[in-house]
Amino acid sequence: MKKLAPLLTLLGALSLPLAAQDAKPVYENNFEKAELDKVPADFLVLDGAFEVKADGGNKFLELPGAPLDTFGVLFGPTEKDSLAVSARIFGTLKGRRFPSFGVGLNGVGGFRLLVSPAKKLVELYKGDDVKLTAPFEWQTGVWAKLKLQLRKVKDGEWKVEGKVWPESAKEPAAWTITFDETAETPAGRPSIWGNPFSGTPIRFDDLVVTPVAK
């Protein structure tokens, strides 16, 4: 039995990430039951002419290609930490112009994970400040998956983690961006963001919010 103890401990440790991944969502929206040409009633549109659209039997939330500015929507529960938000986002380039888009936590002044194709970067913002960047090669006309989580490690210490990958690929085990935060972030709702600088619409789908263990 003593020989089995280390093995059982190892197996228990390995099972923790899987349990975290299998956490039951506290919010989901794939827009399949949403009314076309409107915004779901539980969404708070900060700015932008977002509307539910359909293409090929799939419904999604669409931000039109004009005007050119940064627009966002808040949704889901209001929390300080221990949440993850994920979404599928689709955009296209036009000439040499690229869109930018992302997901966020903790409201307008919280963290945002943004894909910036023109810079070939993934950027982590807190409010208007860039906290960290990482190289990323975006593919036009391909659905991308984004995931951002904020978890409390201990009193006075939080970990912000984000990743981006093409929908056709398997979710990477490693995070694209990892940032250590020591300042408490006010509670707020998850969010999606888009800047249609290419002049073409940006589509958002499969919004999911899940709890995250420490």
The model carries a pTM of 0.89
Cα 150 from Cα 161, distance rounded (Å): 7
Q: Dihedrals φ, ψ of 9, to 5°?
A: -65, -45
Q: Decide: 116 and 123 in contact? Cβ < 8 Å.
A: yes
pLDDT at 23: 83
Distance CA 103, CA 122 (A): 11
For the cut 70, the answer to whether the pLDDT of residue 7 exceeds it is no
d(CA 134, CA 163): 10
Token readout for 29 is 């929206």
User: Mean pLDDT throughout 54-72?
Assistant: 96
- Give the pair of three-digit tokens for residue 180: 């250590």
Does 19 have pLDDT greater than 90?
A: no
25-211 fold: Jelly Rolls (2.60.120)
Residue 2 has pLDDT above 50, yes or no: no
Write out the two tokens for 81. 């930490």
Instruction: For residue 31, give both structure tokens.
Output: 């827009």
Residue 6, pLDDT above cutoff 70: no
- How much is the mean pLDDT over the chain? 91
Distance CA 90, CA 31 (A): 15
Cβ atoms < 10 Å from Cβ of 186? 10
Report the candidate in 174, 177, 146 with the shortest Cα–Cα distance to residue 161.
177
Model pLDDT for residues 74-111, shown as the tens digit of each residue: 999 999 999 999 999 999 999 999 999 999 999 999 99
How far, in Å, CA of 103 to CA of 85, rounded? 7
Amino acid 8: pLDDT: 39
